[in-house]
Amino acid sequence: MKNIVSTLIFSLLVFNQSLQAQLSDRKMDSFVRSLMKKMSLDEKIGQLNLITPGWGVPTGAVVSTDVESKIKSGKVGGMFGVIGAANTRRIQEMVMTNTRLKIPLFFGSDVIHGHKTNFPIPLGLACSWDMALIEKTARVAATEASADGLNWTFSPMVDICRDPRWGRIAEGSGEDPFLGSAIAAAMVRGYQGDMSQPDQIMSCVKHFALYGASEGGRDYNTTDMSRQRMYNEYLPPYKAAVDAGCASVMTSFNEIDGIPATGNRWLVTDLLRKQWGFAGLVVTDYTSVNEMTDHGMGDLQTVSALALHAGVDMDMVGEGFLTTLKKSLDEGRISMKEIDQACRRILEAKYKLGLFQNPYRYCDESRAARDILSAPHRAAARTAAASSFVLLKNQNNTLPLSKNANIALVGPLADNKRNMLGTWAVSGVPEEAVTVMEGIKNVAKDANIRYAKGANISDDPTFVKRANAFAEEITVEKDRTPQQLLEEAVRVAQASDVVVAVLGESANITGEAASRSNITLPGNQTALINALVATGKPVILVLFTGRPLALEQEAGSVGALLNVWFGGTEAGNAVADVLFGDVNPSGKLAVTFPRNVGQIPLYYNHKNTGRPEGPDQIGNRFRSNYLDVPNTPLFPFGFGLSYTSFEYGPLQLNKTSLTGSEILTASIQLSNTGNVDGSEVVQLYIRDLVGSSTRPVQALKSFQKVFLKHGERRTVTFNISTEDLKYYQYDLTHDWEAGDFDIMIGSDATTVKTARIKWSR
């Protein structure tokens, strides 16, 4: 009876919610309809225009004059690159006082991993495998961004990437579609909520689609893949963001099946809008309409018409829409219906943001002082940073260090504020960042620290010049040679008991337009590591990086290796928290580390081939392998150590033969057998042994991050249904196929307990 009543109440609530939603949709619809009736063609086209006046707009001349006149004459629908509530208010006022219909503007920005309080780069955050934490980082980011006048973030970036040469691998969640999808949804929830509050902003999933599969890892390059790979491996995170309610989507620079994404009607209309039911706003990437000319798709008028016809609504920066759509309409190359559709979607997004009710909703100048870089936000950033670190090696418990250790702190990133935030910290404040040196001093007041830079991040003048094009993140010592820097570091090491070497990449050699063909430690840093190791002192490598590096030799020689990505504003404190054991590391790799660049693409969920390299066949000829390197990675997907040890008991299944809708329960007893409390990410993988198409050797299907006190044990259970077995088959039917499956549970993709089951229809 109780159950019936609660089911009834629940159904009524759901019914009521959907009724409310329908009513508010109807209200929006009639509002937008009547507004559009008043709009001229020029005003409609103006809404499709997204512009930027450049970064860091000063409070004086808010925007350059022609931008100002465009705003005043209704030729702009939104802006990005204008930050600060006073600035956005002033521009919004300009719209309210000068334009006929007073349609408020969007104010967007790339709030990628925090606004002014920066969290770890997304690839690092992904390694936390902690969805609540990731959602919270997006929540904080939205709170700060909205306090700074913004109502739209160009995030989450969910491009699956299996090629660490691509600099933008730093901006995404790594190689796995399941983990990537969970993160995409968490970020959308964090940014947007239900968009009913002034600290909830519109999110924009990008870059739709497949941008992470650029050939050779070279940015903006061609992508080409089968539909099956697309649907099974690359599209799921975009879809997860859309399913989570993401209100906007950004098209990518690359082509798909020979047609650039921005002009690809199959992608934007057939797949996104029709198959996935996306009703929101589609914006291009930066000048990606215009770039279709270089892709070979025609002149600006042609490519602009192509983009609109594809289903794109808003043109970022290039003004192809603004300058050519009218002509195309006159010539019958596009229809009024297409312009109306795009305009309507933009107005609806503005309506949902509450901008028509109050154009200044996001322009509350009193909020910044309270909401930006606040103590709770910084505390959240510190926790998030420590959660993103991955302990890749810890021989003989080199870590944690004692708080009164005698430390040689070496390396170009050891005392370096500029590089803590990482790529895409558009509004980040480097001066607010905590360096590793500062963090160590904060956490271990009694430690004795001797510092030496040891190496420049790079000594190659051309590389440095290209990297530093926008900001000097690589500083090259003018007065000392690389050899002198190295010798000083060796002397410092010799006088200490342990070496903490803080090395890696600068932020500006990661991210957009920062592809590398060689993914080793840049500059003289490997020589530095070798010299430090040769002193015989234990060496801890604290690695800052935006991508997996090929580190086989360094990883072999150091005592401990802690990968810290770029941790954000609180990076240094978080590094110290982990180095001295206040925080036990629990990050697990969201991306495979190859042994060398020649193994790329190297990813865990690969196919088997007809000549797989079995464990007993290493080095055999006529198998799918290399003569000069094993197939195995340096560090596999899902891998990460802890200061404690976890033991996995036998894998237990409720049954080994199932039919149809039955549920398989797979459990394992997890014990914390070490001396400290810690968290472990327990991972569930499945292999479909026989399919109508070939299936990957394993695929992540679930995971749980479990905290256990030392000595504690817990049964970790996964419920598996046929939903987890489904995949896109040759004809793109999404279904499961009866047969045998291997169920694997373990601590990383290669360390699993396996049992076989049979599932029949």
Binding ligand BGC (rule: CB under 6 A), the pick from 68, 365, 497, 512 is 512
- Least separation in angstroms between CB 172 and ligand BGC: 11
Q: Tell me the two tokens of residue 652.
A: 């237990």
Q: Which is nearer to ligand BGC, 43 or 110 (CB)?
A: 110
- Report whether the peptide linkage leading into residue 606 is cis, meaning its omega lies within 30 degrees of zero: no
- Among residues 492, 557, 491, 545, the alpha carbon closest in space to that of 520 is found at 545
Whichever of 142 and 444 has its CB closer to ligand BGC, that residue is: 142
Tokens of 450: 């001797």
**Residue 220 contacts ligand BGC per CB under 6 A:** no
Q: Is 129 in the site for ligand BGC (CB under 6 A)?
A: no
Q: Which residue is nearest to ligand BGC (CB)?
A: 154
Residue 110 binds ligand BGC, judged by CB under 6 A = yes
Give yes or no for residue 154 binding ligand BGC (CB under 6 A): yes
Tokens 């993914």, residue? 519
Classify residue 76 by its DSSP letter.
-
Minimal distance, residue 592 CB to ligand BGC, in Å: 24
Q: Which is nearer to ligand BGC, 10 or 55 (CB)?
A: 55
Q: In degrees rounded to 5, what are phi and psi of residue 613?
A: -85, 95
Nearest residue (CB) to ligand BGC, 291 versus 570: 291
Catalytic residue (one of 159, 163, 176, 285): 285
Q: How many CB atoms lie within 10 A of CB 743?
A: 23
Q: How far is the CB of 154 from ligand BGC (least distance, A)?
A: 4
**Least separation, in Å, of the C-beta of 209 and ligand BGC?**
13
What is d(CA 123, CA 132) in angstroms, rounded to the nearest whole number? 16
CA distance 49 to 40: 15
Closer residue to ligand BGC (CB): 511 or 696: 511
The answer to whether the beta carbons of residues 587 and 562 sit under 8 Å apart is: no
Q: How many residues bind ligand BGC (CB under 6 A)?
A: 6
Cβ at position 291, least distance to ligand BGC in Å = 11
Cβ at position 203, least distance to ligand BGC in Å = 12
Nearest to 447 by CA among 311, 536, 625, 576: 576
Q: Which of residues 200-219 bind ligand BGC (CB under 6 A)?
A: 206
For residues 447-462, one letter each, b for 16 or more C-beta atoms within 10 angstroms of the residue's C-beta and e for the rest, the string is bebbbbbbbbbbbeee
Shortest Å, Cβ 10 to ligand BGC: 40
Minimum CB–partner distance for residue 422 and ligand BGC (Å): 15
CB half-sphere exposure, 317, CA atoms < 13 A: 13
Q: C-alpha angle with apex 126: 125 to 129, nearest 5 degrees?
A: 105
Residues numbered 255 to 314 that lie near ligand BGC (CB under 6 A) are 285-286
Please give the backbone phi and psi of residue 684, each rounded to the nearest 5 degrees, phi first: -110, 125
Q: Please tell me whether residue 488 binds ligand BGC under the rule CB under 6 A.
A: no
| Catalytic residue check, 285 | yes
CA distance 282 to 246: 11
Nearer to ligand BGC, 288 or 394 (CB): 288
Q: How far is CA 95 from CA 103, 322, 404, in A?
A: 7, 18, 60
CB atoms closer than 10 angstroms to residue 534: 12
Residues 6 or more apart whose Cβ sits within 8 Å of residue 517: 165, 216, 217, 597
Tokens standing for residue 145: 């961004």
CA distance 97 to 107: 18
Residue 380 CA neighbour count, 13 Å, CB half: 23
Residue whose CB is less far from ligand BGC, 510 or 525: 510
CB-wise, 75 or 206, nearer to ligand BGC? 206
Could you give the CA distance from residue 173 to residue 502 in angstroms, rounded to a whole number?
A: 24
Whose Cβ is closer to ligand BGC: residue 515's or residue 599's? 515
Could you tell me the CA-to-CA distances from 235 to 127, 229, 309, 667, 686 in Å, in that order?
20, 9, 22, 30, 20
d(CA 365, CA 252): 34
> With contact defined as beta carbons under 8 Å apart, do 311 and 263 qualify?
no
* Least gap, CB of 152 to ligand BGC (angstroms): 10
List of residues contacting ligand BGC (CB under 6 A): 110, 154, 206, 285-286, 512
* Catalytic residue positions, numbered: 285
